[in-house]
Structures are given as structure tokens and as C-alpha cells.
Amino acid sequence: MTDQTVYVGESKNLAGRLLQQLQVWHNPIVWKNFYARMRTQALFSFLFVFVISAFVTFTTYGGIMRIQGDAVVAARTAIVPLGMIQWFIMMLSATGRITSGIIHERVTGTIEYTRLTPLSPIDKVIGYLFGLPVREYLLFLLTMPFMLFLLVRGELPLSVILPVYMVFFSSAILFHMLGMVLGLVLKEWRLSVVFTIALVIIINWVLPFFSFLGFPILQYLTVRPVFSEKITPLLPTDAVPGMEGAPQLITDLTSGVDFYTWEVSTTAFSLLLQGLLIFTLALMVYRKWENDFGHSLGKAYALFFYVALQLFCIGTLWPNLIFDSSDLMALGLLSDDSLVDQYAFIIPLIYGFFSIAIALWLVYVTTASHEEYRSGLLRSQKLQQMNQPPLSRFDDQAGSLLSTSILAISTFAFLLFVQLVMARVGPLSEVSPDTIGLLRMPLVAVLVIFYFATSLEYLEMRRFALLFLMVWIVPILLAIFMAVVFELEENVLYIASGSPLTMVVLSAQGLLNDWMNPEELTIVRDSYWIGFTFILSITAFLGYRLKRLKDRTRAQVLQSAPAPAATAN
Amino acid sequence: MLQQATTSTAVTVETRDVRLDYGELTAVDNVTLQIKSGEIYGLVGPNGAGKSSLLKMLANLIRPTYGDIFVNGIDLAEDPWSVQKDLGYMPDLSPVAPELKVWEFLEFFAAAYGIPRNERKARVNECLERVKMTEHREAFGKGLSRGMTQRVVLAKTLIPRPKILLLDEPASGMDPIARINLKHILIELCSQGVTAIVSSHILTELGDMCTSLGIMHKGELVKTGDKAALLIEHPVLTRSLTVLMENPEQETANVRAVLEASEHVSDVANEGNIFVLGFSGDESAEAELLKELVEAGIRVTSFSRESASMEDVLIKLVSPTDDQATQELAHD
């Protein structure tokens, strides 16, 4: 009864092991899900998808053929609705399935069995990634004969089809990984599935429109740019709903990605950016599989990720940082240079919000709760008793002052760099902001990051959520209320400036010396300093309380040195 | 590895100063224990004593706040994956996948543990036979009763033929026959060298099959050791006396008078003709008391030691009114 079995995934070398792990058809988790999801009831979904795909393909194709008599045009037109069905299956249905499947296993407790098996975390990540949506993959395959028919009839070359499907799958895996992370973090399954699907819709259909505002990076999380580059030019102009008469993006999608001063293939750029995010999400899942109670990202990786994402972001932003009004007029976006100020204002604003949001998310993911900090102190003390080095300052359970400071300084540097470039050679050169003007947003970013980190660490999640509502949201609502009811206008900014969200807007507005009249500008700048002082005071107060709490905890831990064992054999 | 594990090859599981905090609550507090190969180690204690948390740490489902755990001499923190194959963990209120048939559920684990494809079916059937669930192999997880679910999870736990079994309240929900079967399975496995750590808050579940016991209370391991040694160290203090009565009122008074006159007897209580009493003497004192009862004309039909003897030990060690004694034991 004690013979040892050998796990099939145990190859001698790393490459061999990785190759085995990628053979998803050997993965037990995939097979488990295959058994669970491919019962007779699944026949209905297969029949449904088959009927709908056939209907959409042949009705569109046949209809266009009847009207225009051109098989190529008819086939290419039918690609869009069939592609939407494929998108729906792989992006929405499969992602929702992954989130609900993971939460279901967590709620029933069966996930613990899988956690205990000798399957490596990579096997588990791959198993759930391809196992939970196994039915969706097969449904997708079911639509492929129709798509192949259209691609062949539409005479689309492989050089067009392959990049689109490569990015389609890369994007699908990105959303699936996102669904898996949310499934491992969230608790209530119905709400989580709705949230995941809403997130996928927002990323695909809302965030790309930030391109119109000069912030193009977010569209590369989807298949849209590659589709626009490769397939849209081959489609009849009325084949893509809503595309007729749509404004051109500042980043021209038909000629690759402008990345700093280079032009990079859209396919390669999308794969690279999505690859970074997939790797990060996979790392989060991997860490969760290793230790469910641990943080989903380590502090050191979080800092690396932030810098890498910023480099991607600034690279795509670059052409918009250095354009001048004549570029915009040449693109036909401006009839005269009267709107340059608004472009100068909007890019730092969106970039500032984006940078601060990512930094806050990383602070949230990596900050140890007070209990974790206490456990870390105990562990560190124990290690020292055993003549081992104490915990690293980048350990999950270590205080987050160092990592938060690095994050805040990086954000300060990136924001200042972007604004300096804009002020030297870009649109801000025409509004000539002063030095204080350029420092306002970087300073706000640093303050907001410390404010967030301190309140999160001191107040813990529940009280923090209450503070978030009261201090981040309520001042804005109160200002709107007073503006509406008492007909106050600019003066309500003094109230709204209590919210860090308003502070970001105020700091961007403060860049524009010439845009506002002097009276408005004074109110904006005064509000900025009032808000800054207010938030700085709260941060200082919370920081002081946090330090005292930590000192107290440290003293308690020192007093409660691990006692000798109770009773041993 | 921070330290070398105890060199004795007989020790299969060892913990050193293991502590687990859930926020402010210390669930497991500096637990140090050694369990030898082939033992059935009973982990007992009231609800919330920290048994499940300790088992989860041994199963590597939770990492301790600090402390070391060695399984077969390997530090769990250093190399969890090589240990994982040797462990079979059955959680409390263990679930089965509701959408899978019993054999599919088990076959998944057979595959996950790397059992070759051509051996899986036989292994699944063998484990199902062991837990007497062969006839339910085609049933769906969602259709199983609580007891059947426990048996299927036990079968799942046995699939990889683990060297160490960690069973958290394994008998809960099982009918008496299944419980007896569980005991037989454990005794048979341990005779083959498997080590089992079984937790329960009901001592009678473990009393007659464990070779050693650990008693947990408020996160601490207040006592651990060989079962027989524990019984000797904490002798049975309760006796049960049954007498024949024609005039209950008069005869109850007579019995009480004799019992209360004895220096070895305390805390006499009765319900009808059955008396329960605290007794601190040895066997000759027992004989002397019986002689006195008979000489007083009392017709004794039985005089016995209470059968739930391990419960007495547990109650004595973890009774809330006995905190001082618990403290003393902790510093033995």
C-alpha cells in the first residue's frame, strides 16, 4: 500500500516539463471539466450555436449575393456578424464560465482537493484556463467551418487571418486569466460573474474610445486594432456597424503602432502588451495556488510591472506628447488651433488618472494588513532567534513603506517627464505652464498614493471603504449639490477639492495659464492648495496613528517571544 | 532547510513551535509534536481547539505564522511538492464535485496523482470496494447522502496510497457500520506502515483505535503521548454502581450512607437504582467498598468503571473550571 506513483508531468528537464504541461489534453483538470460539462444537456448549446452560426452565415452571405452578385463581397460582409458570435463565445461566455467555475469550486471546497494534488501550480493554472471553458472552446470550433467557408470565399490571405486569430486568442486568454483572478479573489459568484462580464465589455467597447482623447494604449488589450488594421480595409464600408463616418483615431490603426519614434507592427505590439498582462495575471493565479492566504503579487514584481506598463504607455502616448496644432490640423481634427488647450489639458489628465489608478491598485494588492504585519514581525523574530536573517523589506508580510515610496517616486517621475516633454516640444509649449504648474500633478500623485496606502494599512478594508466613500466621493457630491441648489459655481471647487479625484483634475487644469480667466485660475489654484493641505493633514494624522500602532505591535511582539513547547513526546 | 529534522527514521511527522494566527486570534499556539510511522494519532479537543487548523498546516493548505513542519524529514516550507504525494487529506464536512459521477471524481484524482491510465480503473474500483461504495460508482456527487459523501472522499484520499493520512472528523455523518469499516481500514493501513492523524471532538470515535493521542485546547497541545500511558497518568475516577431495590427511598439512603462514609468516594449522584460516584482508590479499596455495601444488606448487581474513560481524561484536561490544572500540565 505504500508504493509510489510518479506524476506524469515530471520530466527531467525544464523544457520537457513545460512542453508536457502545455499538452492540455493530458491535463487531469481539463478532463475533469470535460466530463462535467459535456453531458447530454450540452447538446442544446451545440445545437443552438450551430443553428445561429448557420443562419447568420448563410443569410448574410446569401442576401448580399442576391443583391450584389459578388461572392467575395458577400463572404467578407458575413465575417463580421460571425466574428461577433465567436467573440461572444470566447470573450464573454468563456470568461464568465471561468469566474463562476472557480468560485463554485471555492464555495463547495473541492478546490482544496486540487490544491493538494501533486500537480504543479502551472498545471493547475493551465488546467483551469483550458478546462473550465472546455465547452466554449468546442462551441468556437463548431463555428469554424462557417468561418473557413467565408474566409475561403472571401479570398482572405493567411497573412491577414493568422495575426487576427493570434491576437483574438491572446486577448481571450487575457480575459480568461482576468476571470480566473477575479474568481480566486471575489466571493459572491453571481455578482462576480456579472462584474467580470461587465469588465470585459468595458475593456472591449469603452476603453478603446480613450484613443479619441489621445490615450491609445487601452485599445491594444483587445483584438480591435489588429482587426482594424488587417480586415477593415478589406471590408465593404458598410459592413462594420457604426464605422461609417466614425472619426479617425489620432493613432492611425492602418499603419502599425507609433511607439516612441518607431513604428511597430500592431500584431506584435498587441501580443507584447497582452503578454505582459497575461504573465502578470498568471503570476497572480500561480501565487494564489501556492498560498491562498498570500498576496497575489509580490512587492518587487509589482514595481517591475508598474515601470514596464509605464514604458508601454508612454511609448504609445509619445506621438501625442510631441504633436503641435499643425499636426492636428493636418489630420483634419482641428479647423483652427483654438482647441489645442483642451488637448494639452486632457492628455495629462487621463494619463494622470491612469498612472495613479494603477499605482493604487498595486498598493492595494501588495500592502500587508495589520495582522499580516504582526505575523511578519513574529516570523522575523523567530528567524532571528534561529540566527537567520530577518524578513526582507519586500516580503509579503513586511510593511509597505519602502515599496509605496518607490511607487510614489516613480509616478512622480513619469508624470513630470510626460508633462515636461509636452511643455518642451508638444502642445503644452503653446500654453507655457510655470514650474509649479508642472509639479502640481506629480505632487498630487505622491500625496494620493501615500494617503491611500496609509488609510488602507491603518483602517483595514471595511473602515477604509467607509473613508473612501466619505472622503473620495462625498465632497464631489456635496459640491454638485451646492452648485445645483444654491447656484454656486466656481466656489464649490473649494469643497470638491477635499476629494483626491478632484485634486487630479485641478492639478491638470492648473497647467493652463492662458485658458481660463485670472479669476477662475485663482479659484482653481486656491482650491488645489486647500485640497492639498486637507489631504496632507489626513495623511499625516493617519500616518502618525499608523506609526504608533506599529510601534505598539512591535513592542507586544518583542514581549511575547515564542514560549517553549507545551508538551512534547 | 532551516534545521535538520529529527534523525530518527521512525518519526514521520514532526512539528516544532508551530503557530498560526488568524488576525488577533491565535488558532494554534507553539505546537511541538512527533508522530511515529505506523501510528494512529488521535487529535482530540473541543470545537475551536485548533485541530482542523493544525491538520490544514500539516496538509500544506495553510502556512504557519512561524514554526517548522517536517514530513518524512522534509521541511514542508522548503519542498512542499515532494511531500504532497505522500499526504492524503480528508477535510471536515468534505464535499465531492456535484456534477461528476463518483468514478469520474475518483479517476480525476488518480490522474492527478500520476497513476498510469491502464491502472486507474482498477485503483478506483479497489478504493470504492474498500469504502463499500462500489454499487454507487455511477451516482452523481450531488445525489449522495452525507455519510456516502464522506465515504467517497475517504476513497479519494486513499487513491494515491498515501503514506500519511490526515483525517479531519472523518466519521461525521457516517452510520455505525461505516464507522466500524473506517476503523478497520485505518487499523489495516497502519499495520502496513501508514501513519494516520485523525481529529475528532468525540473521543469515543477514536478511543479504541488510536495508538497515541494529542489533546488540544485553545490552540495549545496540552497533552500528547501514548494512549495507554495517558490512561495510567490520568486514572479513571468514575464508577457506576447498580443495586436491586424493593423500598427505593429507604435503600437509596442506605446506599448513600455507605458510599459517603468511604474516604475514597466523592460526588455521589443517582438516578433510580443507578449510582455514579467519584472514586480515588485502588483495586483493594474497590473490594473493601463492595464488602461494606454487601454487609449493609445492599444487593449489588454491578460495580464498574465508566467505559468512556478517554472522555474523562479530556474533560479533566480541558474543563473550563480546570484552567489551572491545564496550565500545570502545559509546563510539565
Averaged pLDDT in 10-residue chunks for chain A of 569 residues: 42 72 88 93 95 96 91 93 96 95 89 88 93 96 97 93 96 96 86 92 91 87 92 74 45 70 93 97 91 87 97 92 68 58 79 96 91 83 76 85 95 95 80 80 95 90 81 90 81 88 86 72 88 94 93 84 41
Distance from CA of B99 to the nearest CA of A (A): 6
Among B124, B132, B247, B238, residue whose Cα is nearest residue B185: B132
CA dist A252 to A225, A229, A233, A312, B270, Å?
A: 10, 9, 13, 17, 95
Give the minimum alpha-carbon distance from A117 to chain B in angstroms, rounded to a whole number: 6
Non-local (6+) Cβ contacts of A193 within 8 A are A96, A99, A100, A103
Q: Do residues A106 and A183 make contact, with C-beta atoms less than 8 angstroms apart?
A: yes
Q: Tell me the β-bridge partners of B240.
A: B276, B304
* Residue in A110, A116, A567 closest to B87 by CB: A116
Comparing CB atoms, the residue among A112, A118, A566 nearest residue B84 is A118
Q: Where are the beta strands (DSSP E) in chain B?
A: 11-22, 25-36, 40-44, 66-71, 74-75, 87-90, 164-168, 195-200, 212-217, 220-226, 238-244, 265-271, 274-279, 299-305
Tell me the β-bridge partners of B215: B44, B223
Task: For residue A489, report the phi and psi dihedrals to the nearest 5 degrees.
Answer: -115, -100
Instruction: Note whether A562 contacts B115, CB cutoff 8 Å.
Output: no
Contacts of B193 in chain A (CB under 8 A): 1-2
Nearest 5°: CA angle at B147, between B141 and B153? 55
Question: How close A563 comes to chain B (CA, Å)?
Answer: 7
Q: What is the β-pairing status of strands B195-200 and B87-90?
A: unpaired
Please tell me the distance from the alpha carbon of residue A262 to that of residue A366, in angstroms, as a whole number: 34
Interface test with B, best of A37, A41, A102, A110 (most B CBs within 10 A): A110
Cβ neighbours for A491, distance < 8 A, ≥ 6 positions apart: A523
Closest Cβ opposite residue A378 in set B65, B104, B116: B65
Q: Give dist(CA A201, CA A175) in Å, integer.
A: 10
Pairwise CB contact (< 8 Å): B30 & A566: yes
Residue B234 identity (one-letter amino acid): H
Residue indicated by cell numbers 461577433:
A84
Q: What end-to-end distance do the CA atoms of chain B give, in Å?
A: 30
Which residues of chain A neighbour B194 with C-beta distances below 8 Å?
1-2
Cβ partners under 8 Å of residue A250, min gap 6: A211, A212, A214, A216, A319, A320, A323, A331, A333
Task: Name the residue facing A28 among B94, B108, B330 (closest C-beta).
Answer: B108
CA–CA dist B55, B71 (Å, integer) = 13
Complete edge-to-edge strand list for the sheet that includes strand B274-279: B265-271, B274-279, B238-244, B299-305
Residues of A in contact with B81 (CB under 8 A): 118, 120
User: What's the confidence (pLDDT) of residue A11?
Assistant: 52
Determine the Cα angle at B279 with ends B276 and B284, to 5°.
Answer: 120
Residue type, A362: L
Q: What's the pLDDT score for residue A250? A: 40
Alpha helices, H only, B192-247: 203-207, 227-233
CB contact (8 A) between residue A116 and residue B98: no
- Is the separation of the CB atoms in A53 and A117 below 8 Å? no
Measured from the Cβ of residue B210, the count of other Cβ atoms closer than 10 Å reads 25
Q: What is the C-alpha separation between A226 and A162, in angstroms, rounded? A: 11
CB–CB contact A378 B109 (8 Å): no
Interface of B with A in 92-151 (CB under 8 A): 93-101, 104, 108-109, 111-116
Inspect the interface and report whether the beta carbons of A118 and B192 lie closer than 8 Å: no
Portion 266-305 of B in contact with A at CB < 8 A: none
Report DSSP state, residue B4.
P
The nearest alpha carbon in chain A to B326 belongs to: A566
Closest CA of chain B from A561, distance in Å: 11
Of B147, B165, B169, nearest to B45 by C-alpha is B169
Neighboring chain A residues of B20 at a CB cutoff of 8 Å = none
> Phi/psi of residue B174, each to 5°?
-80, 145
Q: How many CB pairs under 8 A join A and B?
A: 142
Instruction: Find the length of chain A.
Output: 569
Cell of A444: 498630487
Burial state string for A387-424 with b = 16 or more CB within 10 A and e = fewer than 16? eeeebeebbbbbbbbebbebbbebbbebbbebbebbbe
Those of residues 193-252 in B touching chain A at CB distance below 8 A are: 193-194, 220-225
Which DSSP symbol is given to A450?
H
Q: At B316, is the pLDDT very low, low, confident or very high (cuts 50, 70, 90)? A: low
Q: B263 and B275 in contact (C-beta within 8 Å)?
A: no
Q: Is A44 on the interface with B (CB under 8 A)?
A: no
* CA–CA distance, A459 with A437 (Å, rounded to integer): 33
B44 pairs with which residues across the strands? B200, B215
Q: What is the pLDDT at residue A195?
A: 93
Mean pLDDT for chain B overall? 83
Helix B117-130, helix B102-112: angle, nearest 10: 130
Strand-pair partners of B20: B28
| Helix-, strand-, coil-residue percentages of chain A, each rounded to 5 | 75, 0, 25
**What is the rounded distance in angstroms from the CA atom of residue A539 to the CA atom of residue A533?**
10
Q: CB A378 to CB B192 under 8 A?
A: no
User: d(Cα B2, Cα A517) in Å, to the nearest integer?
Assistant: 69
Among all residues of chain A, which has the CA nearest to that of B38? A2
B294 beta partners: none
Share of chain B above pLDDT 70, in %: 85
Query: Cα dihedral angle (A505, A508, A513, A518), rounded to 10 degrees?
Result: 10
| Contact call for B111 and A31, based on CB within 8 A | yes
Q: B141: helix, coil or strand?
A: helix
Chain B hits for A31, CB-CB cut-off 8 Å, are 108, 111
Using CA atoms, how far apart are residues A39 and A46, in angstroms rounded to an integer? 11
pLDDT, one tens digit per residue, over B67-110 is 889 998 888 877 887 888 889 999 987 889 999 999 999 999 99
A11 touching chain B per CB within 8 A: no
3-state class of B297 per DSSP? coil
Find chain A residues with C-beta within 8 A of B24's C-beta. 371
- Chain B: residue whose CA lies nearest to A112: B61
Here the cell at position B212 is 497515541
Q: Cβ contacts of residue A409 below 8 Å, gap of 6+? A: A446
A460 in contact with B, Cβ within 8 Å:
no
Asked if B62's CB is within 8 angstroms of A568's CB, the reply is no
Query: What string of DSSP letters covers B173-190?
Result: T--HHHHHHHHHHHHHHH
Q: What are phi and psi of B140, to 5 degrees?
A: -80, 150
Determine how β-strand B274-279 pairs with β-strand B74-75.
unpaired
Written as nine digits, the cell of A115 is 490544491
Touching check for A108 and chain B: CB below 8 Å? yes
**Interface subset of B 48-87, CB within 8 angstroms of A:** 59-63, 65-67, 81, 84-85, 87
The reply to whether the predicted model has a pTM over 0.90 is no
Task: Compute the nearest-CA separation of B194 from chain A (Å).
Answer: 7
Contact B34 A568 (CB under 8 A): yes
Q: Which residues of B touch A565 (CB under 8 A)?
A: 16-17, 30-32
CA B28-B30-B31 angle, 5° bins: 75
* Residues in chain A within 8 Å Cβ distance of B114: 5-10, 118
b (16+ CB within 10 A) / e for A194-224:
eebbebbeebbeeebebbeebbbbbbbbbbb
On chain B, the residues whose CB falls within 8 A of the CB of A387 are none
Are the beta carbons of A566 and B222 separated by less than 8 Å?
Answer: yes
Under DSSP, is residue A243 helix (H, G, I), strand (E, B) or coil? coil
In the structure grid, which three cell numbers stand for residue A41, read together?
444537456
Confidence at residue B314, expressed as pLDDT on a 0 to 100 scale: 67
Predicted confidence band of residue B234 (pLDDT cuts 50, 70, 90)? low
Separation of alpha carbons A381 and A371, rounded Å: 15
Tabulate helix, strand, coil % of chain B (nearest 5).
40, 30, 30
CA-based nearest distance B34→chain A, Å: 7
Nearest C-alpha of chain B: how many angstroms from A406? 28
Cα distance between residue A550 and residue A553, in whole Å? 5
| The three cell numbers locating residue A352 | 494622470
Q: In this structure, what C-alpha cell is assigned to residue B96?
A: 465531492
Best residue in B24, B37, B55, B63 to probe A by mutation, most A CBs within 10 Å? Answer: B63
Is A386 in Cβ contact with B3 (below 8 Å)? yes
Cα gap A197→A48, rounded to integer Å: 21
